[in-house]
Structure 1
Amino acid sequence: MNNWFTISNVEHIDTPALAVYPERIQENIRILKTFAPDIALLRPHMKTNKSPQVAKMLIREGIALFKCATIAEAEMLAEAGAKDILLAYQPVGPKAERLATLTARYSQTIFSCLADNIATAKHISTVFERSAQKIRVYIDLNVGMNRTGIAPDAALELYKQLLALPGIIAYGLHAYDGHLRDVDLAARTQKCNEAFAAVEKLRDQIVQQTGNTPAIVAGGTPTFPIHAQRNGVACSPGTFIYWDKGYESILQEQPFLFAALVVTRVISLPAKDTICIDLGHKAIASENPLTNRVTFLNAPDLEPTGHSEEHMILKTPAGSTYQVGDVLYGVPYHICPTVALYDRTAIVTDNEVTDYWTTQARNRVITI
């Protein structure tokens, strides 16, 4: 009997390949909705899947808000029919012009973006005023990750400055706390609440001093169940859609299913207890330690010992009988950048590849 992941017509699949299992995607969407008291406040991040087909699956399930990181992802979402899209990125340089072109083309879609300083906000305002448009802007808050954003206790003045800019609408606050990855949910919750307290304080100050109530978008996959319990706060999980080994090992309270795998073949037997497969750096995310990059569902005892552009070297257990051509099914430790390495995905239904989807938004540019 086949395991859920095996592909009956794998002999026709060139490797390395990315295999996607739509029935498991559908189940992950169902699980996602169980975490949210109000699905109207779910704003999934599309950086993981970059797929118009997945976007349409989410839309059919009542998801109305979306988040993305690139202009291409935003264009993909708009073309797929998304009605509210947050570009969770500060558009510096030509990105602002590209964003204005996008918003003009899809005028029935609500677009937003981020800003964390007045100089960039003025640039966005100028670009949009020039095109006779306005765009909603969320202030990007640094709540401890120290990657982007302004400290919440310094953001009130920036919000007031945004109110005076003609090309933008000062609309909300964005707080990404992706650094909070404690395995213990209680510890993660405590740290999340402590970080979010500064966001709540800033929101209250804005209400008191301007009369506006800013929208809030908070969290990623590790903290979205925590933020989902907050009244009126939108949350933005992304990895849930395909899931990966990294988050499965950390987020034990989230029962999502692996829905995307790398498929690879043994291509050489260079030495005793050693095999080589065609899963190089170009086929799987390689930012993590070598031993963590992939887990093979049908060969969990294989131990990676070397990795290069087109090859992965694996030590085999004593007595193994691997042959050239054997197929392995691997769960990436980090699925998001792995997906971006593939221009298309093999769609597996009932253990058979029946179609291919393009990973449309892996490109930096679609048409804009």
Structure 2
Amino acid sequence: MDACYQIEDTSQIISPGMIIFKDLVEENLKQMIALVGNPDRLRPHCKTHKMREVIELELSLGIKKHKAATFAEAEMLAETGVKDICLAYNLVGPNIARAIEFRKRWPDVSLQVTADHPTPIEQLGTAMTEAGLEIEVLLDLNTGQNRTGIVPGDAAVELYQLIANTPGLIPAGLHVYDGQNHQVDFHEREVAVKEVWHHVSKLRDQLLLEGLKVPRIVAGATGSFPIFASIDDPAIEVCPGTCVFHDVGYGELFPDLKFKPAAMVLTRVISRPGPDRVTFDLGYKAIASDPAMEGRCRFPDLPDAKPVLQNEEHLVVLSERAGEFQPGDELLAIPRHVCPTSALHKSVTVVSGGKVVGQWNVAARDRFITV
């Protein structure tokens, strides 16, 4: 295990327990800034960590604009002092009323939301007008992932025009998430991202010709943000997310990004059910279970471990070194997918300089706090 992951005393850490290595988080944040050249170009996504203390670190480094996926995350950002928040989620149902409540509670916060369909746009505009408020709306574009958004083209121009013409709404720009661009080869990923940008920039030019303002283009994800940042366009705000903690999955997908895993889960052996098996207290209540079984986590100090069974409280692995372990022995595991892993923990143990220095609450792990 790398020396930066040493912990002097783990005796009081309840397992399974998420560990945040603060020094590495700070290194990752500085690397994010170095990749874009200016913190003003960053709008990092808080969904990976959901922690006020990480936002405070980002603010201290000059990162003022932030992105969220839920109102709980947006509320956490506002309470931590963020004044520019992109809630990258199309509002429907009760979330329209929550947007009104948010605007009333934090009138000094610039809140942008996303939309890709005329009905919610009209409903949001009506609600805002009745409340005597306005809200900024980004047009959500479908860049090829086919999850949300509208494909750039004439219909997108018409929808953006609808936003501009709807009382209570302010056209705020474009939302360009390209989560499908996870090509391992950097050149292939760069070509794919530049193709996305070609269609987005063409749409932006169409909107400008129509006399519409496009103040920002909120673009990219962890794997593509350095490529978007290399494009010389002042409207682009790039949106890394996972790299603040990094994980096994993104380490394999994006070998060109030199971030270090800053979040691990401390686990203990609870059984030795066979000569080649070790059972850890690392069930799917403690580490994300959306990746394939054999790749849900990696043990740096047990590299041949192959997960073969996971239940709510147990993870069984096969290893030729199984005989070396006894109940109570500890290991650190790197999640393959750290974002949902964070949401499984109410709080995390923070380590700096090899010592436990405190606890951070995962403040926005739920979808509702007060708004």
Q: Same fold (TM over 0.5)?
A: yes
Alignment of structure 1 residues 112-261 onto 2, 5 Å: 112-153=112-153, 154-230=155-231, 231-232=233-234, 233-261=236-264
From 325, 328, 331, give the equivalent of 2:328: 325
Deviation track 1:181-226 (CA, whole Å, cap 9, x = no partner) reads 1111110010111122111111000000124234211110010001
Structure-1 residue corresponding to 2:18: 18
Deviation track 1:303-358 (CA, whole Å, cap 9, x = no partner) reads 11111111011112157310100101011011000000001000112222221110
Alignment of structure 1 residues 296-311 onto 2, 5 Å: 296-311=299-314
Equivalent-residue separation in structure 2 for 1:52 and 1:239 (angstroms): 16
Equivalent-residue separation in structure 2 for 1:197 and 1:304 (angstroms): 43
Local SS of the residue matching 2:359: strand
Shift of 1:17: 0.4
Structure-1 residue corresponding to 2:71: 71
Equivalent-residue separation in structure 1 for 2:306 and 2:144 (angstroms): 35
Structure-1 residue corresponding to 2:41: 41
1:30 aligns with 2:30: yes
Residues 1:2 and 1:228: Cα distance change in structure 2 (over 3 Å): closer
Deviation track 1:217-253 (CA, whole Å, cap 9, x = no partner) reads 1110010001112212111000111000111111111
Local SS of the residue matching 1:357: strand
Local SS of the residue matching 1:12: coil
| 8 Å Cα contact 1:2/1:351 also seen in 2 | no
Local SS of the residue matching 2:124: helix
Counterpart residue type for residue 324 of structure 2: T
Counterpart residue type for residue 71 of structure 1: F
| 8 Å Cα contact 1:294/1:331 also seen in 2 | yes
Equivalent-residue separation in structure 2 for 1:202 and 1:319 (angstroms): 58
Structure-1 residue corresponding to 2:104: 104
Residues 1:229 and 1:2: Cα distance change in structure 2 (over 3 Å): closer
Counterpart residue type for residue 249 of structure 1: E
Shift of 1:302: 1.4
Question: How many percent of aligned residue pairs carry the same amino acid?
Answer: 38
Equivalent-residue separation in structure 2 for 1:358 and 1:284 (angstroms): 17
| 8 Å Cα contact 2:173/2:213 also seen in 1 | no
From 263, 267, 270, give the equivalent of 1:264: 267
Deviation track 1:153-195 (CA, whole Å, cap 9, x = no partner) reads 1200001111111111011001100111111111001011112
Shift of 1:45: 0.3
Deviates more, 1:200-209 or 1:100-109: 100-109
Equivalent-residue separation in structure 1 for 2:322 and 2:110 (angstroms): 60
Structure 2 portions without partners, runs of 5+: none
Residues 1:319 and 1:282: Cα distance change in structure 2 (over 3 Å): closer
| 8 Å Cα contact 1:203/1:214 also seen in 2 | no
The ranges of structure 1 where at least 4 consecutive aligned residues each deviate by more than 6 angstroms after the TM superposition are none
Cα RMSD of the aligned pairs, angstroms, is 1.3
Shift of 1:104: 1.1
Equivalent-residue separation in structure 2 for 1:192 and 1:211 (angstroms): 25
Equivalent-residue separation in structure 2 for 1:308 and 1:176 (angstroms): 33
Shift of 1:81: 0.4
| 8 Å Cα contact 1:206/1:214 also seen in 2 | no
Local SS of the residue matching 1:279: coil
Residues 1:62 and 1:318: Cα distance change in structure 2 (over 3 Å): closer
Structure-2 residue corresponding to 1:52: 52
Local SS of the residue matching 2:331: strand
Local SS of the residue matching 1:234: strand
Equivalent-residue separation in structure 1 for 2:208 and 2:198 (angstroms): 15
| 8 Å Cα contact 1:143/1:196 also seen in 2 | no
Deviates more, 1:56-65 or 1:346-355: 346-355
Equivalent-residue separation in structure 1 for 2:136 and 2:270 (angstroms): 52
Aligned residues: 368
| 8 Å Cα contact 2:181/2:224 also seen in 1 | yes
Shift of 1:39: 2.1
Counterpart residue type for residue 119 of structure 1: T
Local SS of the residue matching 2:332: strand
Equivalent-residue separation in structure 1 for 2:342 and 2:43 (angstroms): 20
Counterpart residue type for residue 223 of structure 1: S
Counterpart residue type for residue 324 of structure 1: P
